[in-house]
Amino acid sequence: MVGSVRPEYKDSDPTTCFTNHCNVAQSWPLNHERLRFSQNCQLSHALISILWMISGRERKGIALQDTEKWLWIKYVEIPWNLLLKACIKAKDYEMVHELLERIQLCCGFIDSYSICDILNSCLNPILLNVGTQAQAYMTKRGLISHPAVGNCLININSRCGKIDDADLAFKSTPEKNSLSWTFIISARVNHGHPSEALDLFKDKQWRYTSMNPTTFRSALKAYALMGLVGEAYRLFLSMEEVYHIEPSEEHYSIMVEALGRAGMFEEVLEFIKGIVPGKLCPLIWRTLLLSSRVHGDMKLAKYALDKLLELDPGDFSNAQAGVL
């Protein structure tokens, strides 16, 4: 009877009840055809949801042979978004690819956030074909213009070394947000185009009053690569004075890199003296060690090495590099 409590569950604790219900749920797909539940959309959704929950509770990855039992069901709207999340969680990318094919064959629907999950799972170059298929689906469904999808395409293409495709994704995103600009600026810097990155950064400054630490990191890196120390320092100061963003260890280390690349080691040491102790991390001394060695200043390199080992005694790789 609906709403009644089975006697064996009446006095059980919630964890026991959940486990008992999950065990029952796992056996339901096996009897699905016999019980003739294939026309019940709500029941099908509930069973798949429980299987997905099981994957996180006790199986650490959904048993996809259970999921596959639902793919042949006719006249039911399968929750593709939930199935895709389960497969991605289980890192079964072959099944993700198969699900995409079935979704396209049956004209199924998945939302833009599931598309982003698929794209983010395609960072491995061997999975780029899945990303290409997902992009084709997005284009067909008109999801390509969604800001979240556009941002994913910029990020994925950049990290896979496809900078032209990243540029195309940026230009094809009609409603660009602050994150869109952050991704394309980072892409330009990471692929050796600092001047273009700075042009984009200045364009973003004109369009948006709010900025984020990642964008500043990329802009500072671009100035460092171009040897524009003064511009880098002015931008660094503006982080707190204008944008109220506290510089992180990475921002400090990039300023050390900018000064070190220019061989301005006296200024580097003065700059480091002004860093609060909590931000004086191994990364800063590692950056100074590299710069001083490149310029042949072995005395400063030894000083940086000693400071590095004080903070990170286990950094033997850098210790070895410092004495070579």
Residue 290 — pLDDT band, cuts 50, 70, 90?
very high
For residue 205, the model assigns a pLDDT of 86
pLDDT exceeds cutoff 50 at 15: no
Distance CA 57, CA 16 (A): 13
Least confident of 25-39, 75-89, 278-292: 25-39
What band does 47 get if pLDDT is binned at 50, 70 and 90?
low
- Reported confidence tier of residue 29, pLDDT bands at 50, 70, 90: very low
Of 36-40, 105-109, 116-120, 243-247, the poorest mean pLDDT is in 36-40
CA-CA-CA-CA torsion sign (245, 248, 252, 255): negative
pLDDT digits (tens, 9 = 90+) for 194-205: 999 999 999 988
Contacts of 97 (CB under 8 A, 6+ apart): 129, 130, 133
Residues near 120 by Cβ (< 8 Å), separated by ≥ 6?
Answer: 152, 156
Q: Among candidates 201, 184, 195, which has minimal Cα distance to 224?
A: 195
**pTM, to two decimals:** 0.71
Which one is predicted more confidently, 56 or 309?
309
Residue 226 has pLDDT above 90, yes or no: yes
Q: Are 187 and 154 in contact (CB under 8 A)?
A: yes
Distance CA 89, CA 78 (A): 18
Query: What is the average pLDDT score of the chain?
Result: 76
Q: Read off the pLDDT band of 24 (50, 70, 90).
A: very low
pLDDT of residue 128: 66
Confidence at residue 2, expressed as pLDDT on a 0 to 100 scale: 41
pLDDT tens digit string along 107-149?
777 888 888 887 777 776 666 667 777 777 777 777 677 788 8
Q: How many CA atoms lie within 13 A of 253 on its CB side?
A: 17
Q: How far apart are CA 134 and CA 140, in angstroms?
A: 10
Distance set, CA 61 to CA 47, 58, 88, 103 (Å): 16, 8, 9, 22
Comparing CA positions, the residue from 238, 152, 1 lying closest to residue 215 is 238
Spell out the domain ranges in the chain: 38-107
Give the pLDDT score at 28: 45
- Confidence (pLDDT) at 253: 96
CA separation (Å) from 223 to 1, 260, 261, 275, 284?
Answer: 71, 13, 11, 20, 17
Q: How large a percentage of the chain has pLDDT more than 90?
A: 36
Q: Is the pLDDT of residue 65 over 80?
A: no
Predicted confidence band of residue 307 (pLDDT cuts 50, 70, 90)? very high
Check residue 112 and give its pLDDT: 80
* The predicted structure's pLDDT at residue 97: 77
Look at residue 54 in the predicted model and tell me its pLDDT: 45
pLDDT band at 64 (very low <50, low <70, confident <90, very high): very low
pLDDT in tens, 147-188: 888 888 898 888 888 899 899 889 988 888 888 999 999 999
Q: Is the pLDDT of residue 16 over 50?
A: no
Measure CA 247 to chain center.
Answer: 22
d(CA 193, CA 221): 11
